[in-house]
Amino acid sequence: MSVMADMSLSSGAIDFVDDARLIGLLEGDSPEPARVHDILAKSLAKQALTVEETATLLAADDPDQVEAVFETARRLKREVYGNRIVLFAPLYIGNLCVNDCRYCTFRATNTSVRRRTLSGAELRAQIEALEEKGHKRLILVFGEHPRYDAEFIADCVRTVYATKVGHGEIRRVNINAAPLDHEGYRIVHEAGIGTYQVFQETYHHDTYARWHPPGTRKADYLYRLDALSRAMEAGCDDIGLGALFGLYDWRFEVLGLVSHALHLQSRYGVGPHTISFPRLRRASGVDVDGRHLVGDYDFKRLIATLRVAVPYTGLILTAREESALRREVMDFGVSQIDAGSRIEIGGYTESGDAQCVQQQQFSLGDVRSLDVVMRELICDGYVPSFCTACYRLGRTGEHFMEFAIPGFIKRFCTPNALTTLMEYLVDYASAETRQAGERLVRDELGKLPDGEHKAELVRRLDRIRTSDQRDLYF
């Protein structure tokens, strides 16, 4: 471990990832079933796991033990979080990039990609197109480039919030961009961002050095590892971790993510809001060495293990994955997905149905429309939600509240999911989706306890159906 006293880092910044220790933890024998049972019981009792306990679960290769982890993840999802899935869309702002990450189409040495940054008018057109489909939550994605500094990011955020069409508006803007310094995080925080995501890509030092060539900004492992600590210190306490699965042993990366979450929790009293676990995809102009690619079974294991290990953290599953797999793993504790996504710059207005792989960072596995994904979720018994209430009412740490406060979901989450779903059904849904959605709303209302709160929810749903009133959250 090394301690740095560098002003560009967070106070007391530390490289808390000890590769040899994590690898050692993974080398243990397959654990006794009783030990696995005890660890899973701890998670079901609403306690986060230690890195050592997580490693024990990862060492449990026996199919029955893996099934026990799957079942615990499903139970946590069902019993603790309920059946809501939050929906969002990515919006790529620009693909200029000074880095040379070997897995990414946007890397500086790739001369076959057309470099482009949305102008203000183009950005507004993308936002309007997304609003007209029914989106309420976006994540803005940027390459790393001096042009995309904190002021530029903040301007984009302000433009998103200011652009409205019909009943459409974006109520939460998350960011996936390069690490900033303290001042940069203060600037984007003031613009009203939701979550700031920075993915470490790989927590394994040598692998990190191999994929991020020396001399590039991103080559500095510690500066990136420390990014979200700086964000916390600058007042952005809503942050998202991630690793790009496929660069190194997936089990190591899970331990890296859990170490990172625990580090933030112990240092700042707040863990990450979300964890993302993108799998490496084919990408134009990229030659990926497939040694550590993660198969579907291991992908399920990693999601279920994360669900069990960090129960207060939202899990994001992206449209990189094929639709059938997305449907299957939703049950393991995923809380957010993107839908109707296009990742070409300008893709929401300029692309037809086909992906233009040369112009996007990687190829997507699920390019179905928002309406089709909504209908599938509804028919599978999930409640698609566009809720942004906690964040706007200053109720930060909503996953913690969902998890820890009895009745929180019934009082806030389900009603807000239903009002935002009703907005979608009335304003944007196809007839078939509307019909399925109205049925789901009736079923969900049937599960809520009778009383004034439910009566108020029913009144609000009716107001959305019969008037122009929107955004009626609890």
- Interacting residue ranges for ligand SAM, rule: CB under 6 A: 103-104, 141-144, 176-178, 198-199, 201, 244, 278, 280-281, 283, 286, 320, 361-362
Amino acid at 311: P
**Chosen from ligand SF4, ligand SAM, none, partner binding at 278 (C-beta under 5 to 8 Å by type):** ligand SAM
* 148 neighbors 214 (Cβ within 8 angstroms): no
**Binding status of residue 104 toward ligand SF4 by CB under 6 A:** yes
The nearer residue to ligand SF4, 66 or 138, going by C-beta atoms, is 138
* 120 neighbors 159 (Cβ within 8 angstroms): yes
The nearer residue to ligand SF4, 140 or 413, going by C-beta atoms, is 140
**Binding status of residue 101 toward ligand SF4 by CB under 6 A:** yes
**CA neighbor of 226 nearest in space, from 19, 3, 7, 15:** 15
Angle at CA of residue 295, ends 317 and 218, nearest 5°: 60
d(CA 463, CA 6): 55
Helix (H) / strand (E) element for 317: namely strand 314-317
The nearer residue to ligand SF4, 136 or 218, going by C-beta atoms, is 218
**Chosen from ligand SF4, ligand SAM, none, partner binding at 371 (C-beta under 5 to 8 Å by type):** none
The nearer residue to ligand SAM, 142 or 391, going by C-beta atoms, is 142
CB of 207 to ligand SF4, least distance (A): 15
Stretch that binds ligand SF4, among 5-13, 100-108, 320-328, 410-418 (CB under 6 A): 100-108
**Binding status of residue 106 toward ligand SF4 by CB under 6 A:** yes
Beta strands in 360-405 (DSSP E): 383-385
The nearer residue to ligand SF4, 198 or 422, going by C-beta atoms, is 198
CB of 161 to ligand SF4, least distance (A): 24
The nearer residue to ligand SAM, 55 or 243, going by C-beta atoms, is 243
Dihedral angle over CA of 97, 99, 104, 107, nearest 10: 60
**Binding status of residue 148 toward ligand SF4 by CB under 6 A:** no
**Binding status of residue 91 toward ligand SF4 by CB under 6 A:** no
Give the total of residues touching ligand SF4 (CB under 6 A). 9
- Token pair, residue 99, equals 């880095």
CB of 73 to ligand SF4, least distance (A): 29
Stretch that binds ligand SF4, among 28-36, 93-101, 226-234, 246-254 (CB under 6 A): 93-101
Helix (H) / strand (E) element for 325: namely helix 323-329
Stretch that binds ligand SF4, among 66-74, 98-106, 117-125, 367-375 (CB under 6 A): 98-106
φ/ψ of residue 393, rounded to 5? -95, 5
The nearer residue to ligand SF4, 101 or 308, going by C-beta atoms, is 101
Q: Could you tell me if residue 381 is left (phi over 0), alpha (psi between -120 and 50 degrees) or otherwise beta?
A: left
The nearer residue to ligand SF4, 23 or 96, going by C-beta atoms, is 96
**Chosen from ligand SAM, ligand SF4, none, partner binding at 176 (C-beta under 5 to 8 Å by type):** ligand SAM
**Three-state secondary structure readout of 395-444:** CCCHHHHHHHCCCHHHHHHHHHHHHHHHHHHHHCCCHHHHHHHHHHHHHH
273 CB burial (10 A radius; 0-12, 13-18, 19+): buried
The nearer residue to ligand SAM, 201 or 253, going by C-beta atoms, is 201
CB of 44 to ligand SAM, least distance (A): 31
Among 53, 144, 237, 253, binds ligand SF4 (CB under 6 A): 144
d(CA 433, CA 412): 24
**Binding status of residue 218 toward ligand SF4 by CB under 6 A:** yes
d(CA 370, CA 153): 26
**Chosen from ligand SF4, ligand SAM, none, partner binding at 107 (C-beta under 5 to 8 Å by type):** ligand SF4
Beta strands in 319-364 (DSSP E): 336-338
- Token pair, residue 165, equals 């069409």
The nearer residue to ligand SF4, 69 or 247, going by C-beta atoms, is 247
Residues in Cβ contact with 375 at an 8 Å cutoff, skipping those fewer than 6 apart: 430, 432, 433, 436
CB of 206 to ligand SF4, least distance (A): 18
**Binding status of residue 99 toward ligand SF4 by CB under 6 A:** yes
- Would you tell me which residues interact with ligand SF4 (CB under 6 A)? 97, 99, 101, 104, 106-107, 143-144, 218
